[in-house]
Structure formats: C-alpha cells, structure tokens
C-alpha cells in the first residue's frame, strides 16, 4: 500500500513538472486548455440530470410531478380555506402597520403641550370639543360610575370569549383565564407579590350588555356619536402600556374609575421638529379623550401599591 502511494506521489510530481514546463515554453497554452485536453484523453463527460439519450425520462418525471400536484391540490385548498376562515391566522404585524402609516399633518400637535382640562359639563357645552385632536380631561365626569367592578361585579369582567383581545403588557399572564385564576394575594398585590397590569376587550354581546348597564355612553358625548360593539377593561398595579399608536377607526375615551394613571403623549416622528412630548395624569372620576390614532401614547400607574381600573371605548 505504501509503495502505491509512493508511486502516486512520484507520478503527480512529474505531471506537475511537466505541466509547468509546457506552460513555460508554450505561452499560448493555459491551465484551462490542459484541463480540457486531459478530460478528452480519458473520455470524461459532464454529469447530466437526464441521460443524454433518454428524453423520455424527462417526460416521465414531468408526468409524476403533475400527478403529485393533482393529488395534493385538494389538501392545499382545504388548508387555505381554513386559514382564510380563521379570524387571524397570523397576528397583526405592528411593524407593517407602522411602515404603511400615512404621514401625519402636524397641525394636530403644533403648539400643544398639555391637555385641555374641563370641569364636568353637559353635552351642549362639550360640543365644540367633541371631535378635537387635542387631548381633553373632563374632571369628575364619571365619578358616579361604580368603582368596585372588579370586586362586586365579576360577571361584567368574565369575558373569556375566544375572539376577545387580551393584552398582558409586562405581566406574565398568557390568557385572561390566567388572570382570573391568580391568587388573592397577588390580585391584591400584597407584600412579596409581583405587580401586574392587563387589559382585554369585552366582545361577547352578553358580557358587553352587562357592562353597558354599569357604564353607559358618557353623558357629554354627542347624541349621534356611534360606539363600537366592544369595550376595553384595563386594571392592575404599578405598570402600564409602552409607547404606541392605535390603529382604530374612531376617537378614544377612557374613564378612570379607580387609582391615578400617568400618560405620556408624543407626536409622530415626522412632527418631532415642530411638536413636543408632554405628560399628565388623571384621577379617579376623570374622563380622558385622546385621538390615539395621531398621538403616540404610553401609560403608567405611578402610585406605589395603588390599584387602577379604567373602562375604555371609542366614539365617532
């Protein structure tokens, strides 16, 4: 075996010397020419996907492909039908929404550095502000609404409908059912427990009807203002929502039933040079109106150990 290897090495060395000599004495010959000459000397042919003399085999492969495609087509069609019939096979992509967001007209934020603060007022008095892009706080507008929804009206919160949206924010809850199953110690944020903050939509008609008995359309909104068939509940401790913009069809209103909540509003990036960010807070009994389609906004429950409860909906 060693003898064979030695012979191979000697042969390769001589071939290498020979090729160098040929290249040196024959300037018109390249390594590529020598490679092609060697292939011809040994009858080398490049591999082909189909044998050279077998065009029929290509037809056979094509026929097999067509048959397989015919067999799997019903399964693909069934999968697509199922996918299109689902409410959302892939979660809505916030980055795509942001990338396709229309460029803002900065009139909505130019010169605005604080919310308009109004005292509780009638529908007629509120009319000039009804569809403003300025953030508005109406003091004590919902102070007569019950603030013990979480404790005394659990049926109004029991919205475990599969199509309802659940927002866990920074909490470790994966579903609304997890929220209702947490211990009393954590629900009341006792010593040693982690803070939590969640939100969800009441899109179940029966639950929504129960909720609307407790929280009807705010008295100051216009008579012809339309409201969606969904309300949101937000509650928890010492957390909130990160900065974002809403992709909703109407203006937003929120009733602060328990606790204080801080808000941060910021203009869209294209308006940074003309507008400024600012913050404010709302108190129990306040109603807040913000066009969250225009303003980037974030919230935070700043009072340590304080429970916050808000009801949110839209109007337009």
Mean pLDDT of 288-316: 94
pLDDT at 240: 94
> What's the gap between Cα 196 and its chain centre?
20
CA 62 – CA 116 distance, rounded (Å): 72
CA 208 – CA 232 distance, rounded (Å): 10
pLDDT at 309: 94
In a domain, 182, yes or no: yes
Q: Is the dihedral of CA 61, 66, 67, 71 positive or negative?
A: positive
Q: What is the mean pLDDT of the chain?
A: 80
b (16+ CB within 10 A) / e for 204-232? beebbebbeeebeebebbeeebebeebbb
In a domain, 75, yes or no: no
DSSP-assigned letter for residue 222: -
Is residue 113 located within the same domain as residue 208?
yes
Mean pLDDT of 111-135: 97
In a domain, 275, yes or no: yes
Residue 141 vs residue 92, higher pLDDT: 141
pLDDT at 91: 44
Is residue 259 located within the same domain as residue 113?
yes
CA 311 – CA 233 distance, rounded (Å): 5
Question: How does DSSP assign 234-264, residue by residue?
Answer: EEEES--PPSB----SSEEEEEEEES-EEEE
Give yes or no for residue 299 having a pLDDT over 50. yes
Q: Residue 18's domain spans which residues?
A: 2-41
Is residue 20 located within the same domain as residue 144?
no
Tell if the pTM clears 0.75, that is, is over it.
no
**What's the domain count of the chain?**
2
CATH number of the domain encompassing residue 166: 2.60.120.650
In a domain, 273, yes or no: yes
Per-residue pLDDT tens for 169-192? 999 998 888 888 899 999 999 999
Is residue 184 located within the same domain as residue 273?
yes
Is residue 14 located within the same domain as residue 143?
no
Is residue 11 located within the same domain as residue 154?
no
Is residue 180 located within the same domain as residue 307?
yes
Confidence of residue 82 (pLDDT cuts 50, 70, 90): very low
pLDDT at 175: 84
Per mean pLDDT, which of 52-56, 59-63, 283-287 is the most reliable? 283-287
In a domain, 98, yes or no: no
| Residues 163, 88 contacting (CB under 8 angstroms) | no
Q: Up-side HSE of residue 98: CA atoms within 13 Å toward CB?
A: 10
pLDDT at 39: 56
Q: Is 153 exposed, middle or buried (0-12, 13-18, 19+ CB in 10 A)?
A: middle
pLDDT at 273: 95
Give yes or no for residue 301 having a pLDDT over 90. yes
């Amino acid at each position: 075996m060693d003898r064979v290897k030695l012979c191979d090495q000697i042969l390769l060395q001589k071939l290498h010397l020979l090729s160098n000599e040929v290249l040196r004495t024959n300037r018109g010959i390249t390594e590529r020419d020598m490679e092609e000459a060697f292939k011809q000397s040994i009858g080398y042919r490049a591999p082909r996907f189909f044998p050279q003399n077998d065009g029929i085999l290509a037809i056979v492969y094509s026929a097999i492909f067509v048959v397989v495609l015919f067999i799997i087509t019903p399964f693909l069609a069934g999968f697509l039908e199922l996918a299109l019939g689902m409410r959302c096979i892939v979660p809505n992509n916030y980055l795509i929404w942001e990338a396709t967001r229309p460029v803002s007209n900065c009139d909505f934020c130019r010169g605005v550095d604080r919310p308009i603060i109004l005292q509780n007022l009638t529908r007629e008095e509120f009319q000039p502000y009804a569809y403003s892009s300025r953030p508005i706080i109406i003091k004590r507008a919902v102070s007569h609404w019950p603030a013990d929804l979480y404790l005394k009206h659990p049926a109004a919160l029991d919205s475990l409908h599969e199509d309802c949206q659940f927002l866990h924010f920074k909490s470790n809850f994966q579903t609304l059912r997890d929220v209702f199953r947490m211990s009393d110690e954590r629900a009341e944020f006792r010593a040693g427990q982690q803070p939590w903050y969640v939100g969800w939509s009441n899109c179940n008609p029966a639950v929504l009807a129960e909720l609307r008995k407790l929280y009807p359309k705010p008295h100051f909104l216009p008579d012809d203002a339309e409201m969606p068939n969904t309300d949101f509940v937000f509650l928890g401790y010492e957390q909130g929502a990160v900065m974002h913009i809403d992709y909703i069809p109407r203006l937003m209103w929120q009733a602060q039933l328990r606790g204080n909540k801080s808000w941060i509003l910021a203009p869209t990036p294209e308006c940074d040079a003309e507008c400024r960010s600012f913050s404010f807070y709302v108190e129990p009994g306040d109603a807040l109106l913000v066009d969250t389609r225009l303003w980037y906004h974030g919230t935070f429950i700043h009072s340590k150990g304080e429970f916050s409860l808000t009801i949110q909906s839209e109007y337009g």
